Structure 1
Amino acid sequence: MSVTHQADPLNRARLRWRARRGLLENDLMLTRFLDAHEIEMTDEEVDAFSRLMDMPDNDLMDLLLVRKEPQAALDVPQVHALLKKMRTV
């Protein structure tokens, strides 16, 4: 049985660490989002968030600022849903 994100404080700390970015703008947006929604995030949302954290900073900013939409492996419903939520913070 796997441990969910919410049940493991270490997993939650890793998520916060991954949200630290080189671009201040990304860092601020991601921190605000986590401050508002981290406690209620589902494991599916955490997976989508982790996928986004694998992106280079400039590409991530383009997604957050709606300059681009997810493509290729990121073009899945979970990522679209999370981005919609992140863009409202």
Structure 2
Amino acid sequence: MAKHYQVSVVGVTISAEQQKMAQQRCADLDVTILLQDYRDLHESFDRIVSVGMFEHVGPKNYATYFDVVDRNLKTRRSFPAAYHRFEKNRS
């Protein structure tokens, strides 16, 4: 997004390894990768995009997940979220 749309991007991860890799890949872009729990994020954003996160939150934490999104969006906007659906092992 930072490369194609000339926007500032903030990423959030709890993995130091992911943070390091993302920082290396985005070294020449206006991208900040925070090492923290998404629930501790208290910043306002014009847009929030969630990729590969929802399936890890789990149903019991969906309300908190969406509360954090709502709290951090500057205004009511659409919220794109990409997730993978995992089938239960049937063997």
**Which has the greater radius of gyration?**
2
Identify, as 1 or 2, the structure richer in helix: 1
RCO higher in 1 or 2 (8 Å CA, sep ≥ 6)? 1
Q: Could you state the TM-score of these two structures normalised by the residue count of structure 1?
A: 0.29
Name the one with the larger strand percent: 2
